[in-house]
Amino acid sequence: MARIIAISSGKGGVGKTTTTINLAAALTEFKYAVIIVDANMTTSNISLHLGLHFKPITLNDVFEKNAKLIDAIYQHENGFKVIPADISIRKTPNPNTHEYIDLLYDLSAHADFVLVDTPAGLGKETLSIIEAVDELITVTNPELAAITDAMKLSVHASKLETHNLGVVINRVRNVSHELPASHIERMLDLPILGIIPEDREVGRAIAHKKPVVSFSPNSLAAQHFKAVAARLIGEQYTPKTGLRQKILNWFRS
């Protein structure tokens, strides 16, 4: 049975979709079978990040009972599978926790990991998913607004008895006004699963509709996403963030 993990944040735009896609790519490189579920049915992004936006059957169709789950699962060239959500403006289904549990249970026999990308905010749409999954990865940025929302997410997760695995601090620039990781760790009272630097390669990878882990495997972001994936499976992976890579990154930024 798969580990079923939601990737969530509270605040929008902090990097949930980027983290979901790149953990999927990295776990696939570690030889695990992964299915991504784009549960952001209102403002879906996964299919745009991965070039799957022309796929005819989506999670929306499955919840509207217009299609079978199996027909909404697409193989990505990186080896993982994806259930995209609809990017058009149409009425969004509003599944409850039990409908999510049924869906995720059906998927869990077909993968080692089911990674569920969640919408921004902490409304019913997000909380139904948090309740339905077993585990949660919190994504945040090193700024107070994002961390405040991550704290609220944490409170909800503990009420809903979902195991909060820890926090991924994304878009770290190491500038003086950022909150340091040690403060974030204390404020959230969560282990830090990884610190992902701000990296121009992330935007380039999205423009090419690929995970940065495969598009630019030596980039700092790719290396740090791989380290988070390794941590999830109890493997050791030390990012190769030597001077050469740092200089390259500096020139790119």
Ligand X SMILES: Nc1ncnc2c1ncn2[C@@H]1O[C@H](COP(=O)(O)OP(=O)(O)OP(=O)(O)O)[C@@H](O)[C@H]1O
The residues binding ligand X (CB under 6 A) are: 9, 12-18, 40, 43, 45, 120, 170-171, 196, 198-199, 202-203, 206, 221
Residue with the two structure tokens 């999510």: 100
User: Which partner in Mg ion, ligand X, none is near 146 (CB below 5 to 8 A by kind)?
Assistant: none
Examine residue 162 and tell whether it contacts Mg ion (CB under 5 A).
Answer: no
To the nearest whole angstrom, how small is the minimum distance from the Cβ of residue 13 to ligand X?
Answer: 4
User: Which partner in ligand X, Mg ion, none is near 191 (CB below 5 to 8 A by kind)?
Assistant: none
Report the b/e string of 27-56 with b at 16+ CB within 10 A. bbbeebebbbbbbbbeebbbbebbebbebe
Query: CB–CB of 149/13 below 8 Å?
Result: no
Q: Which helix (H) or strand (E) holds 9?
A: none
Nearest CB to Mg ion, comparing residues 45 and 141: 45
The number of beta carbons lying within 10 Å of the beta carbon of residue 1 is 10
To the nearest whole angstrom, how small is the minimum distance from the Cβ of residue 42 to ligand X?
Answer: 10
To the nearest whole angstrom, how small is the minimum distance from the Cβ of residue 164 to ligand X?
Answer: 17
Examine residue 22 and tell whether it contacts Mg ion (CB under 5 A).
Answer: no
- Report CA-CA distances (Å) from 174 to 141, 169, 170: 12, 12, 11
In eight-state DSSP terms, residue 69 is: G
Examine residue 44 and tell whether it contacts Mg ion (CB under 5 A).
Answer: no
Q: Which of 9, 17, 126, 170 binds Mg ion (CB under 5 A)?
A: 17
Percentages helix, strand, coil for the chain (3-state, rounded to 5) are 45, 15, 40
Nearest CB to ligand X, comparing residues 18 and 28: 18
Examine residue 9 and tell whether it contacts Mg ion (CB under 5 A).
Answer: no
Q: Specify the 3-state DSSP secondary structure of 74.
A: strand
User: Which partner in ligand X, Mg ion, none is near 123 (CB below 5 to 8 A by kind)?
Assistant: none
Helices in 111-252 by DSSP H: which ranges?
A: 124-132, 144-159, 181-188, 200-207, 212-215, 220-232, 243-252
Helices and strands (H, E) in the chain, number of each type: 11, 8
The region of 8-16, 86-94, 131-139, 205-213 touching Mg ion under the rule CB under 5 A is 8-16
To the nearest whole angstrom, how small is the minimum distance from the Cβ of residue 1 to ligand X?
Answer: 27
Examine residue 45 and tell whether it contacts Mg ion (CB under 5 A).
Answer: yes
Nearest CB to ligand X, comparing residues 61 and 198: 198
**Which residues of the chain form contacts with Mg ion (CB under 5 A)?**
16-17, 45
